């Protein structure tokens, strides 16, 4: 409840008419979440606190809409990894206590597909841990989805530069606690995916010195319009006031600058043997081959054990169609200007 009321207070309780019903529902859920969180702390708190993360996590990095979800689903097919699922990320404070029961009772609350791209959804699907951080009340740009007409907050968390010492301490402690809860629940190597982590590699490297990183890139001509569509869709679904959708392009560009400043400035801190760059276009062209290459480069184990699952998954998704976007020349010019270094580094510069 504290995090919910803090979010409302920070935004001046600026609910629109459309926001009153969901705000009432969230208030009720926040009471339930607080109660279940206390129950989990009483029953499992000591064990979670004592849990050690002995196996270095694997982080999937990349801008929103760059293929992180597809790669995460492929990597999560390996039972040797523990990928947080949708329920765990949406109920991060009490999933250890409640997941087995509540996912069976409330299965109908999630749509069959994500609204922005028709990718399958469900409580058991691998999910971005950023949602868990947001729900726990930690500094996260995802909180902007509640009041998208207001100036965006917590952009500093996209590269962790300029963040206050108190916010950084809270973020580290909260993130570490969530990962300990995941490990206590299932003691395997964590496979984590969150676009905002892309610019946080300095902090992540400090927290987990032996972590491994998979960085996926995609043509910015696809990323930018797709990300604008993402925020437009989420604003329509989640905003607690009537969204104007103004400034979405500027927001996308500002987030990119933060994320990739943090990434490119600090990638040298990672041993090259623990970081691999993957092009989305190559992954889609040869999913099995690229995942095998990831396993070999990062020494993730015997790929032959999971290869049949990857092949079967790829076969099931063969007919999936990505959204197509028409770009005018002005938008192309803006992308070329802002994303120039990204295009040059990863081979997306348009030929004259």
Residue by residue, pLDDT tens for the chain (352 residues) are 999 999 999 999 999 999 999 999 999 999 999 999 999 999 999 999 999 999 999 999 999 999 999 999 999 999 999 999 999 999 999 999 999 999 888 756 666 555 555 566 678 899 999 999 999 999 999 999 999 999 999 999 999 999 999 999 999 999 999 999 999 999 999 999 999 999 999 999 999 999 999 999 999 999 999 999 999 999 999 999 999 999 999 999 999 999 999 999 999 999 999 999 999 999 999 999 999 999 999 999 999 999 999 999 998 877 656 666 678 899 999 999 999 999 999 999 865 4
Q: Round to whole Å and give the CA distance between 279 and 276.
A: 10
Tell me, yes or no, whether 336 lies in a domain. Answer: yes
Report the DSSP pairing between strands 212-217 and 189-193.
unpaired
Distance, CA of 97 to chain centre:
23
Q: Are 348 and 265 in contact (CB under 8 A)?
A: no
Question: Do residues 211 and 274 make contact, with C-beta atoms less than 8 angstroms apart?
Answer: yes
Nearest Cα residue to 180 out of 88, 90, 48, 55: 48
Residue 114: φ, ψ to 5°: -70, 140
Q: Kindly tell me the burial class for residue 45, based on how many C-beta atoms sit within 10 Å of its own C-beta (0-12, 13-18, 19 or more).
A: middle
Within 10 angstroms of residue 285's Cβ, the number of other Cβ atoms is 10
Give me the domain span that covers residue 114: 2-346
Q: Is residue 352 part of a domain?
A: no
User: Two tokens at 150?
Assistant: 């207001």
pLDDT at 288: 96
| Contact residues for 331 (Cβ-Cβ < 8 A; gap 6+) | 224, 225, 249
State residue 323's pLDDT score: 61
Identify the pLDDT of residue 118: 57
Total domain count, the chain:
1
Q: What is the pLDDT of residue 326?
A: 76
Is 351 domain-assigned? Answer: no
CATH code, domain with 73 = 3.40.50.300
- Does residue 100 fall inside a structural domain? yes
**How many beta carbons lie within 10 A of that of residue 3, not counting itself?**
17
Task: Please give the pLDDT value at position 351.
Answer: 52
Whole-prediction pTM value?
0.93
In a domain, 237, yes or no: yes
| The pLDDT of residue 111 | 60
């Amino acid at each position: 409840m504290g995090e919910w009321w803090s979010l409302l207070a920070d935004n001046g309780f600026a609910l629109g008419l459309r926001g009153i019903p969901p705000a009432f529902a969230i208030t009720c859920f926040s009471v339930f979440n607080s109660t279940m969180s206390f129950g989990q702390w009483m029953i499992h708190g000591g064990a979670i606190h004592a849990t050690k993360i002995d196996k270095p996590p694997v982080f999937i990095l990349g801008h929103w809409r760059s293929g992180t979800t597809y790669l995460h689903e492929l990597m999560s097919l390996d039972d040797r990894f523990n990928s947080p699922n949708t329920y765990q990320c949406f109920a991060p404070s009490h999933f250890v206590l409640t997941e087995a029961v509540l996912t069976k009772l409330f299965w109908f609350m999630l749509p069959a597909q994500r609204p922005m791209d028709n990718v399958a959804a469900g409580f058991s699907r691998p999910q971005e841990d950023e949602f868990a951080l947001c729900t726990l009340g930690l500094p996260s740009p995802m909180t902007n989805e509640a009041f998208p007409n207001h100036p965006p907050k917590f952009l500093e968390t996209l590269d962790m530069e300029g963040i206050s010492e108190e916010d950084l301490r809270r973020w580290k402690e909260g993130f570490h606690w969530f990962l300990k809860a995941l490990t206590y629940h299932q003691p395997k190597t964590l496979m984590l995916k969150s676009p905002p982590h892309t610019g946080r590699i300095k902090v992540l490297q400090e927290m987990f010195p032996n972590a491994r990183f998979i960085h996926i890139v995609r043509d910015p001509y696809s990323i930018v319009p797709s990300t604008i569509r993402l925020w437009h869709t989420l604003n329509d679904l989640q905003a607690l006031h009537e969204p104007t959708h103004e400034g979405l392009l500027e927001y996308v560009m500002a987030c990119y600058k933060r994320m990739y400043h943090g990434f490119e400035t600090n990638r040298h801190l990672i041993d090259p043997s623990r970081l691999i760059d993957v092009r989305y276009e190559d992954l889609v062209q040869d999913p099995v081959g690229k995942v095998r290459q990831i396993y070999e480069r990062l020494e993730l184990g015997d790929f032959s054990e999971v290869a049949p699952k990857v092949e079967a998954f790829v076969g099931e998704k063969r007919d999936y169609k990505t959204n197509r976007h028409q770009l005018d020349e002005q938008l192309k010019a803006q992308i070329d200007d802002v994303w120039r270094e990204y295009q040059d580094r990863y081979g997306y510069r348009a030929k004259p």
